[in-house]
Homo-oligomer: A and B are copies of this chain.
């Protein structure tokens, strides 16, 4: 494609509100444009990359035997009422009324719709398992859209759904998808981790998130420095390796007032309120309470953590459940200031002096902690969530009465899995991982063009003629080529070439008449003079060295 004819509205200035490299470079490079807060157009360059990601996804999804379909964005409210999510989903779900005052959700996710589509057809175990996917624009009215495509309100997503008659069949599909996702993100050139994650509001059981490592990421990943263990910070279990007490126990001591306490001995307490009961959780003051673990322990999804309370946690009211983090099991002499009594306890042996129902893993893991799989120590990294695989179980099929007849003719709810990839997010994540100060440095598989052919001075006949000859040659060799044939100053052209970031640059300049051009990788920008006779081989060779 000739650059003079292409719509690539690059920007010299960095947009003020672009907080991340991907947002900044996609805007500056003319890849995307904002149309409203969190709402973007993919311009020709950006959409070329999106389509390459989509092609990889389609190939890998088809390999798993999943079939592509396309469901509508307009989802009748009735379906969302069936599962109760019309009320639960909140303002993130965009809603609209048609001319007959019927309500629709603008698809934020597709569980209801796909379940309604298959529920009459998948009526026997003979038709199971079944795997369906779509690549579709989704809508979520984020409270604070930010980082460009990373948290947008209209975005492109691949969502897949599988249907089964047994937990084993679901497990098989789950891991097939897991491995397909690994291949997809590998082919996109991403450094990522598949991490254990919390099932959250979508409802279900096992789930892994695929996190692309990036400083700008909104999630923290806890990973082992030696094994491939990785989990979302809130999901990483803390090993309870110690045995016995960490010292000699002594009789409990109670001293009036708030006394100075050794930081290593201090413990703290948190109150939790569920729909039906109250609980207090003790842990070391140096540890951080993990609400998700408390929530899982209490087995309810309506829970409130109450920051301060002046109740007497040492002598709680009847009915209050008391738990402690595993860490306290081994503490021989803790210290606690009880506000209700205004006194400080010393030599407090938690298992002896507190009415603890059980010790559990209730804190956040810390860097340096042993990895939960027993191999190596934990490190933290920031991640961008680009995909998720999820065992839904029967939550949707039960609510929506989607049943099949098993071998004995009994009606049972379909067992479901769902699997998502944020395609526009994947684009952003790739940008975060593949750029330098001057612009993008695309991996081969996703570059909008593989070769950027730059004519330094197209007013010179020899440069123009040679460029045209090379352009045709590259196209014939099957390369995606962007030819900068514009009558701009060389400085502008080179700067924009760095910004756009095609992997290979071929520069036709002063020595065109001698059939000599310059070849460079965008990555290091070291230019090597090459004769046109050797150019084809040199490009091929250079590409083998690039990601």
Residues of chain A at the chain B interface (Cβ within 8 Å)? 1, 5-7, 9, 33, 35-36, 39-44, 46-48, 50-51, 65, 67-76, 91, 94-96, 98-99, 102, 104, 106, 113, 116-118, 120-121, 130, 132, 137, 139, 141, 143, 153-154
Q: Chain B nearest CB: distance from A388 CB in Å?
A: 23
Q: Chain B nearest CB: distance from A179 CB in Å?
A: 19
Q: Which residues of B contact A35 (CB under 8 A)?
A: 71-72, 74-76, 113, 116-117
Residue contact B7 to A130, C-beta cutoff 8 Å: yes
Give the complex CA separation of A9 and B120 in angstroms.
Answer: 9
Residue contact A74 to B130, C-beta cutoff 8 Å: no
Give the complex CA separation of A367 and B491 in angstroms.
Answer: 66
Q: Chain B nearest CB: distance from A324 CB in Å?
A: 41
Chain B residue nearest to A134 (CB atoms) is B47
Give the complex CA separation of A73 and B155 in angstroms.
Answer: 10
- Apart from A41-B70, A44-B132, what 13 extra A-B contacts exist at CB < 8 Å? A1-B67, A7-B121, A9-B121, A39-B74, A41-B113, A51-B68, A72-B137, A73-B73, A74-B154, A94-B98, A95-B96, A96-B96, A98-B153
Q: Which residues of B contact A7 (CB under 8 A)?
A: 67, 69, 118, 121, 130, 132
Residue contact A76 to B116, C-beta cutoff 8 Å: no
Give the complex CA separation of A195 and B42 in angstroms.
Answer: 33
Residue contact A94 to B96, C-beta cutoff 8 Å: yes
Q: Which residues of B contact A153 (CB under 8 A)?
A: 74, 98
Chain B residue nearest to A6 (CB atoms) is B67
Give the complex CA separation of A41 and B141 in angstroms.
Answer: 23
Kindly report how many copies of this chain are found in the complex they form together: 2
A117-B33 CB under 8 A given contacts A7-B69, A47-B68, A154-B74: yes
Give the complex CA separation of A455 and B104 in angstroms.
Answer: 44
Q: Which residues of B contact A95 (CB under 8 A)?
A: 96
Q: Which residues of B contact A33 (CB under 8 A)?
A: 117
Give the complex CA separation of A354 and B529 in angstroms.
Answer: 86
Give the complex CA separation of A139 and B107 in angstroms.
Answer: 14
Q: Which residues of B contact A143 (CB under 8 A)?
A: 99
The 10 closest A-B pairs by CB, nearest first: A9-B121, A44-B67, A96-B96, A42-B70, A91-B99, A41-B71, A36-B76, A39-B72, A72-B154, A99-B141
Contact of A69 among B42, B94, B98 (CB under 8 A): B42
Residue contact A137 to B73, C-beta cutoff 8 Å: yes
Give the complex CA separation of A154 and B74 in angstroms.
Answer: 8
Chain B residue nearest to A142 (CB atoms) is B99
Q: Which residues of B contact A132 (CB under 8 A)?
A: 7, 44
A72-B40 CB under 8 A given contacts A35-B116, A96-B106: yes
Chain B residue nearest to A79 (CB atoms) is B35
Residue contact B117 to A41, C-beta cutoff 8 Å: yes
Residue contact B104 to A36, C-beta cutoff 8 Å: yes
Q: Which residues of B contact A72 (CB under 8 A)?
A: 35-36, 39-41, 137, 154
Q: Which residues of B contact A73 (CB under 8 A)?
A: 73, 137, 139, 154
